[in-house]
């Protein structure tokens, strides 16, 4: 992926017991130990890549070693509210959010 020029960055994540979930409610910062959703699957790390479209992103993701024994989720990055709305999603943090 690096040689092809698609690589932007990656990193490992600590296990879920090291996670905190952060919420803002009534002007106060609330934290909860652990991930937001209980699940059997864990997010172990992430890659940020550049791709011209979703098809190219899928082809790049298929070359990530984790795809051989697990799975790789491909998700576009929404960098601003205009993009989020254009994609048909609600603002992050709203009850109707699909993120």
Q: What confidence tens digit (pLDDT) does each residue in 26-85 have?
A: 888 777 776 655 666 667 788 899 988 888 899 889 888 888 877 788 887 766 676 667
What is the predicted pLDDT for the residue at 67?
Answer: 84
Q: Would you call 45 helix, strand, or coil by DSSP? A: strand
| CATH 3.90.1150.10 at 7-86, yes or no | no
Facing residues of 23 across strands? 30
What is the predicted pLDDT for the residue at 91?
Answer: 54
H-only helix segments in 1-99? 54-61, 66-69, 81-86
Facing residues of 24 across strands? 29
What is the predicted pLDDT for the residue at 39?
Answer: 66
């Amino acid at each position: 992926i690096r040689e092809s020029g698609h690589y932007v960055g990656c990193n490992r994540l600590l296990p879920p017991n090291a996670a905190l979930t952060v919420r803002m409610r009534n002007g106060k910062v609330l934290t909860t130990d652990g991930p937001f959703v209980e699940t059997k699957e864990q997010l172990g790390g992430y890659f940020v890549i550049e791709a011209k479209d979703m098809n190219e992103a899928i082809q790049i993701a298929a070359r990530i070693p984790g795809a051989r024994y697990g799975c790789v989720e491909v998700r576009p990055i929404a960098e601003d509210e205009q993009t989020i709305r254009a994609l048909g999603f609600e603002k992050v943090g709203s009850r109707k959010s699909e993120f």
